[in-house]
Chain A
Amino acid sequence: MNDTITLSHGSGGLQSNKLINEVFFKYFGNDILNQMNDAAQLEIDFKKLAFTTDSFVVNPIFFNGGNIGKLAVCGTVNDLAVSGAKPLYITSAFIIEEGFSIKKLEEIVMSMADEARNAGVKIVAGDTKVVEKGNVDGIFINTSGIGRIYENVNINCSNAREGDIVIVNGTLGDHGMTIMCARNELGLEGNLRSDCACLNSLVDIMLEAYGGIHVIRDATRGGVAAVLNEISEFSNVTIALEENNLPFKEEVKGATEMLGLDPLYIANEGKLCAFVPEAYAQKVLSAMRKHPLGSNATIIGKVTEEIGQRVYLNTVVGGKRLVDMPSGIQLPRIC
């Protein structure tokens, strides 16, 4: 095989088949995919399923803690998991720029296979397109996924209630700051690492501890602030956060301080927010802390009795300030 992707690799002929067999099937292969049908044929024995899709265009493609492929699997697995579903099957579609390194593609595909295996999901269908140089930024990936919704679990954005405790599973803003610094446009270096991870096994132990968790959402673009504002709106509740309790890595604190950014608005790729009735919060928190992805789980706030849809922060000096929905992209400030 060539070292780089050519337009022939996307034309459906000999080179396409070679690429599919020697890269995609080599790592993704399973009993369903290996049948090589035009559509994956699945047998399911449940009525309620969760179905999601997501596209990934991250730049840089490789970063500390992962790559675009790992993100693509984790992102879709997490959307299913936080919906109260067991992730089962994933598709992956690739749009690749002519000239892309096949070695890099293989590395990406290997990561995806590893993540899928660890998460217990099968990649059962896929597609590959190749476009002319300049028409895509290296590689774009779309993943879709289906999962079986657990019985007796009702997780919904509109379920948050007065008294619910808000728990996050660890430090915030790691992924976004890693990407921002990796782009090297800002001249900042640091020991930052993306938190990209599949959260389904963590969600499982949370639901084992208490199956009546009201809301679970993963906090991706827009950070924890975006997710909490969405929940506040859909549940029609006020959420109060405690500034002293917000968990951040030292490196993220340092980078955001220098740039004048608010880490509450910085993306995560392995963090969730859970809204748990107060009586069960400690039990869920303890269960989370025993899991590798929840060892730094922290209570960051609660749903108050106040009327209205808003999120605010009780500050370290005893004042209050709004944590509004992010608008536009965060930009480093002048002085």
Chain B
Amino acid sequence: MKFAYEFRNAEYAKKLVEKLNNISSDKINIMEVCGTHTMAIFKYGIRDVLPSNINLISGPGCPVCVTPQSYIDAVLTLCTKEDIITATFGDMMRVPGKKGSLSKKKEEGFDVRIVYSPMDCLTMALQNPSKKIVFLSVGFETTAPMTSLTVIEAKKSNIKNLFFATANKIVPPVMEALVKDKELRIDAFLLPGHVCAIIGTKPYDFLSEDYNTPGVVTGFEPLDILQGLNTLVNLISKKDYRIMNEYKRVVKTVGNPYALEYLNKTFNIVDSNWRGIGRICGSGMEFNGKYEYFDALKHFEIEYEDYDGSPGCRCGEILKGKIKPSDCPLFKKLCSPENPVGSCMVSSEGTCAAYYRYHKDNI
């Protein structure tokens, strides 16, 4: 089975849309947390085929978008130090800090390289013994296990010139903050499929048990999303607040025990700042004592004061789903993909980037 394209079948999509239009006429607010869901919903024009009573709200599930500006500025300071090679995922290159961006630093001649996996940094470290490699470890539970694997291997192989600037975050705590927010009225969640592939579905049980809010884990193809929405609307209409898994080809209830074991071996859970949202307890990851040596910001003694965002930028409210990008005064005027003010515009999963690139109001 060709997984990607089987789940884009137009005939099945049409049937799912018809079903969705016939379940309930009540006004329903559904938050899709994950940035990849945001992009997929736009990419396939799913909002165009939804009944008018279903309102999809984009949430803060974009790791680049929620990384504080202070982190960006800290790594920009780091990347200009002597003998440093900065290795990063591609999305981070153009995120603006107060002092520019990684892309600009690369243009200025500093050694900044895009990697697809942190494991590439092991080879980089071995091939460049006189350099210090700093990997920017940004991402949720989906990608943090790769950092864990890499640092475990680095320690085992006695690699001394590889470091990690960690900014990994945990999703369920921010969802609790959102479901408690009285200004938002979230009736249900479309749960992030790839985060769930690692952590399973149990970490979301609190939504059902404590807040009477159902959630459906779904994948990222159009049929996945439409099926997930069908299931959610059915649950809401029956006042059934369960957490359900509609992505069984990837997600197990227990998640990925191996990945979780690696995370537990390397990280402590700490409080963390989310850009535009604020400090959320127990929502971040930091290396534990055994791997503290590899913490780049500690090793290079980079001062890190917490601050957030640019004047006028309303990424925070957009990330919480309180406003749409078109409500931000900078959107498409001062802030565009070519000249991003906020991270929501530059990330490949950012809500503002999705609106700018795909939205039907532009058609």
A residues near B359, Cβ cutoff 8 Å: 321-322
Q: Evaluate contact between A316 and B348: CB separation under 8 angstroms.
A: no
Q: Evaluate contact between A318 and B49: CB separation under 8 angstroms.
A: yes
Question: What residue of chain A has the Cβ atom nearest to residue B225's Cβ?
Answer: A317
* In the complex, per-residue mask of A178-208: 1 if CB is within 8 Å of any chain B CB, else 0: 0000000111000000000000000000000
Interface presence of B200 (CB below 8 A): no
Interface presence of B25 (CB below 8 A): no
Q: Evaluate contact between B44 and A332: CB separation under 8 angstroms.
A: no
Q: Evaluate contact between B45 and A318: CB separation under 8 angstroms.
A: yes
Question: What residue of chain B has the Cβ atom nearest to residue A317's Cβ?
Answer: B13
Shortest CB-to-CB span from A241 to chain B, Å, is: 12
Interface presence of B337 (CB below 8 A): yes
Interface presence of B362 (CB below 8 A): yes
Known pairs A257-B4, A320-B48; A332 contacts B13 (CB<8 A): no
A residues near B362, Cβ cutoff 8 Å: 310, 322, 324
Cβ 8 A contact of A324, one of B46, B47, B49, B357: B357
State in angstroms the CA–CA spacing of A253 and B226 once bound together.
22
Q: Evaluate contact between B363 and A187: CB separation under 8 angstroms.
A: no
Interface presence of B194 (CB below 8 A): yes
Interface presence of B222 (CB below 8 A): yes
State in angstroms the CA–CA spacing of A257 and B17 once bound together.
25
Q: Evaluate contact between B357 and A322: CB separation under 8 angstroms.
A: yes
Cβ 8 A contact of A335, one of B46, B143, B358: B143
Known pairs A310-B363, A321-B358, A322-B358; A333 contacts B90 (CB<8 A): yes
Question: What residue of chain A has the Cβ atom nearest to residue B119's Cβ?
Answer: A187
Within 8 A of B (CB), among A153-186: 185-186
Question: What residue of chain A has the Cβ atom nearest to residue B354's Cβ?
Answer: A321
* In the complex, per-residue mask of B33-55: 1 if CB is within 8 Å of any chain A CB, else 0: 00010000011111111000000
Interface presence of A331 (CB below 8 A): yes
Interface presence of B96 (CB below 8 A): no
What is the interface residue range for chain B against chain A?
35 or more
A residues near B143, Cβ cutoff 8 Å: 334-335
A residues near B360, Cβ cutoff 8 Å: 319-322
Q: Evaluate contact between B13 and A334: CB separation under 8 angstroms.
A: no
Cβ 8 A contact of A317, one of B10, B63, B120, B338: B10
Cβ 8 A contact of B348, one of A253, A254, A322, A331: A331
Question: What residue of chain A has the Cβ atom nearest to residue B5's Cβ?
Answer: A253
B residues near A259, Cβ cutoff 8 Å: 116
Cβ 8 A contact of A333, one of B42, B117, B348: B348
Cβ 8 A contact of A187, one of B63, B116, B358: B116
Interface presence of B185 (CB below 8 A): no
A residues near B42, Cβ cutoff 8 Å: 321
State in angstroms the CA–CA spacing of A187 and B116 once bound together.
8
Q: Evaluate contact between B89 and A332: CB separation under 8 angstroms.
A: yes
Stretch at the interface among B134-142, B152-160, B274-282, B297-305: B134-142
Q: Evaluate contact between B363 and A322: CB separation under 8 angstroms.
A: yes
Question: What residue of chain B has the Cβ atom nearest to residue A321's Cβ?
Answer: B358
Cβ 8 A contact of B93, one of A244, A253, A260, A331: A331
> Which of A186, A314, A318 has the most C-beta atoms of chain B within 10 angstroms of its own C-beta?
A318
A residues near B92, Cβ cutoff 8 Å: 334
Cβ 8 A contact of B63, one of A250, A322, A327, A335: A335
Q: Evaluate contact between A318 and B93: CB separation under 8 angstroms.
A: no
Q: Evaluate contact between B17 and A331: CB separation under 8 angstroms.
A: no
Interface presence of A140 (CB below 8 A): no
Interface presence of B290 (CB below 8 A): no
Q: Evaluate contact between B44 and A317: CB separation under 8 angstroms.
A: yes
Interface presence of A315 (CB below 8 A): yes
* In the complex, per-residue mask of A301-335: 1 if CB is within 8 Å of any chain B CB, else 0: 00000000010111111111110100110011111
Question: What residue of chain B has the Cβ atom nearest to residue A260's Cβ?
Answer: B348
Within 8 A of A (CB), among B60-108: 63-64, 89-94
Shortest CB-to-CB span from A334 to chain B, Å, is: 4
Interface presence of B9 (CB below 8 A): yes
Shortest CB-to-CB span from B255 to chain A, Å, is: 15
A residues near B226, Cβ cutoff 8 Å: 317
Shortest CB-to-CB span from A90 to chain B, Å, is: 34
B residues near A257, Cβ cutoff 8 Å: 4
Shortest CB-to-CB span from B254 to chain A, Å, is: 20
A–B Cβ pairs within 8 angstroms, 9 of them: A185-B116, A187-B117, A257-B4, A316-B10, A321-B43, A321-B360, A322-B358, A333-B349, A334-B64
**5 further contact pairs, Cβ within 8 A, besides A259-B116, A260-B348, A317-B14:** A253-B5, A314-B45, A321-B43, A322-B363, A335-B63
Q: Which 9 A-B pairs have the closest CB atoms?
A: A319-B45, A331-B90, A319-B48, A317-B13, A321-B358, A333-B348, A315-B45, A334-B89, A335-B142
